[in-house]
Structure 1
Amino acid sequence: MATFLVLIPPGAASGDEKARIIRDRFSWIALFLPVLWLLWHRAWLAAALAFAVQSLGSAVADHPLFGLAGLGICLATNLLVALEGPSMVVAGLTRRGWTVDAVITADDRATAEEIYYMQTPAGEAEPRESVLLPASETSPRRHAPMLGLVGFKEGR
């Protein structure tokens, strides 16, 4: 079973046909081609940052003493994009005004689309309340950073 996030454009009603369904999963393509994967998904800022970090890692990898550290930087960048790439895409869409309308657990994308459009009334005039994710900033409960770690507003 996979988790799918359904995002609707600004001002659209729930069940809009322009909704984007994004699967939250590990991406093998993003592991091997992180910058191209981010560009394909229109995450321009994240792609530029990944390119800069990988360029730095490649420059450090040429040094005889720090070569292994440079390879580690490149590998860490690839792994971060492969694990968190869909979250970067969702964050970019929410910055542009899109809202998370539903979180669906399904076997594949076709099943997730079927579940989403079957549970949404076709003639709904106004948008539904936005879905509150566990890492949402709207949570009344706040935690301080633990063990010297940086706080991430209760997110991952």
Structure 2
Amino acid sequence: MATFLVLIPPGAKSRDESARIVRDRFSWLALVMPVIWLLWHRAWLAAALAFAVQALGSAVADHPVFSLAGLGLCLATSLLVALEGPSMVVAGLERRGWTIDAVISADDRETAEEIYYMETPAGEAETRDSVSLPASETSVRRHAPMLGLVGFKEGR
């Protein structure tokens, strides 16, 4: 199961057709090409920062003593974008006024869209018919011993 975040634009209502569905997952393409992936998803500031850090890592990698440190910096940047790229995209949309309308767990994007756009009866909210009480509230013997411990019915 994957997790999908549904964002709606400013001023839009729930289940709007212009909602954007973002899958929160690891991205292999972002691992291989982090700057291009960020540019594709219009995360301009994050793309510029990733480019600067990878350029610094490449410059450090040219030095014979710090070559592994430079390679590690480039790899860490790619890994960070691959893991947190969707979160960066969501944060960018939220800065522009978009709001998270729903979080959906589904097998694929089509199923997530079906769940999100599923019609409910005319303005009727989904509610539970009954409220379940904890087991201790429904028991006749309120202070009965549990797991072999002594009860405190008579006091200490």
TM-score calculated relative to the size of structure 2:
0.77
How far apart in 1 are the matches of 2:117 and 2:80? 32
Residues matched between the structures, number: 124
1:89-104 counterparts in 2 under 5 A? 89-104=89-104
Q: CA-to-partner distance for each residue in 1:11-30, whole Å, 9 max, x for gaps?
A: 00001100000000000000
Task: Structure 1 unaligned segments of length 5 or more: list them.
Answer: 125-156
1:64-79 counterparts in 2 under 5 A? 64-79=64-79
Q: Aligned to 2:102, what secondary structure does the other structure show?
A: strand
1:107 maps to 2:128: no
| Structure 2 match to 1:49 | 49
1:75-154 counterparts in 2 under 5 A? 75-119=75-119
Deviation at 1:123, TM superposition (A): 7.8
Q: Aligned to 2:117, what secondary structure does the other structure show?
A: helix
TM-score calculated relative to the size of structure 1:
0.77
Q: Aligned to 1:5, what secondary structure does the other structure show?
A: strand
How far apart in 2 are the matches of 1:44 and 1:18? 22
Task: Structure 2 unaligned segments of length 5 or more: list them.
Answer: 125-156
How far apart in 2 are the matches of 1:24 and 1:121? 30
How far apart in 1 are the matches of 2:82 and 2:112? 22
AA partner of residue 21 (structure 2) = I
**Aligned residues: percent identity?**
85
1:22-61 counterparts in 2 under 5 A? 22-61=22-61
Q: Aligned to 1:10, what secondary structure does the other structure show?
A: coil
